[in-house]
Amino acid sequence: MTPERYAKLRGVLERRQPTLTVLMEQVNKPHNFSAILRSCDAVGVLGAHAVAPRGGLPTYSATSGSAEKWVHVETHPDALSAIGTLQSRGFQVLATHLSARAVDYRDLDYTRPTCVLLGAEKWGVSQEAADAADHNVVIPMLGMVQSLNVSVAAATILFEAQRQRLAAGLYERPQLEVADLERRLFEWAYPDLAPLYRERGEPYPALSEDGQILRG
Ligand code: SAM
């Protein structure tokens, strides 16, 4: 672990936004799934949510360069229970869904705890999930085609959330609790060692300012 790498990991965690997330409802194409997580990482989403399509989550590789390594995905059995869980955690759920009650995605406040609900290419967001969401949102389409690729729609909305959160100063101070941030930092910095400490039921060791393990 070089000091530069450690500083980068810390900086990224200090900008993570635990109150911004996505819920992917049966997004079944691996390249879309990966692209959405890549946008999540770029705007500072801490963790994402998914309802797996039949056959399981789209296969993806958690190689060092991929976003999947940095954005954990929590799975849920179905969209309604996922939405209920997120709402009980204080999130407003915004379903990307064209309906009579849909509003322009730019008209909402993304500094609030927010989850963006995304649907699969073929089916979109299910009607029951759209009904259960707090709002339905659309990205206005002024051309010939009716919809965007789901990962493009995700990026468009997530970067609006980033714009609002930057303006509100939410990236200027860590949004994670200190202990949570330090725990995640150890797990990111020492991914091979962290499981060994957990298996032994031992706390993670303290790290020096430049990320070296302090033996004591
Ligand atoms: N046939 C599907 C339908 O009727 O909903 C189209 C799904 S679209 C290709 C895939 C997903 O991308 C949607 O479920 C939604 O999450 C997102 N999406 C695409 N275009 C969008 C738009 N203009 N506004 C909001 N979300 C959009």
Ligand 1 atom index nearest CA of 117: 16
CB under 6 Å to ligand 1: residues? 96, 118-119, 121, 124-125, 138-139, 141, 147-148, 150, 153
Pocket test for ligand 1, best of 22, 138, 148 (most atoms within 8 A of CB): 148
Task: With a cut of 60, say whether residue 62 has pLDDT above it.
Answer: no
Which one has a higher pLDDT value, 69 or 161? 161
CA of 132 to the centre of ligand 1 (A): 17
**Residue 40 half-sphere exposure toward CB, CA atoms < 13 A:** 32
Averaged pLDDT of the chain: 94
The pLDDT of residue 60 is 60
CA of 154 to the centre of ligand 1 (A): 9
How many Å apart are CA 40 and CA 22, to the nearest integer?
Answer: 8
Section 72-83 average pLDDT: 97
- Of the ranges 19-28, 47-56, 93-102, 120-129, which one carries the lowest mean pLDDT score? 47-56
The pLDDT of residue 169 is 98
How many Å apart are CA 108 and CA 126, to the nearest integer?
Answer: 21
The pLDDT of residue 59 is 66
For the stretch 133-157, pLDDT in tens is: 999 999 999 999 999 999 999 999 9
Query: What DSSP character marks residue 108?
Result: S
Reported as a pLDDT band with limits 50, 70 and 90, residue 16 is very high
Section 91-114 average pLDDT: 97
For the chain, list the domains and their CATH numbers: 1-16+176-216 (no CATH), 17-167 (3.40.1280.10)
Check if the beta carbon of residue 67 is closer than 8 Å to that of residue 38: yes
CA of 116 to the centre of ligand 1 (A): 12
State residue 32 phi and psi, 5-degree precision.
-70, -45
Task: With a cut of 70, say whether residue 31 has pLDDT above it.
Answer: yes
Could you tell me which residues come within 8 angstroms of residue 200 by beta carbon, excluding any fewer than 6 positions away?
none
Residue nearest to atom 6 of ligand 1 (CA): 124
CA of 216 to the centre of ligand 1 (A): 54
Q: Encoding tokens for residue 62?
A: 């958690």
The pLDDT of residue 64 is 44
Q: Encoding tokens for residue 132?
A: 């259960």
Q: Encoding tokens for residue 61?
A: 């590789």
Residue nearest to atom 19 of ligand 1 (CA): 148
CA of 62 to the centre of ligand 1 (A): 26
The pLDDT of residue 12 is 98
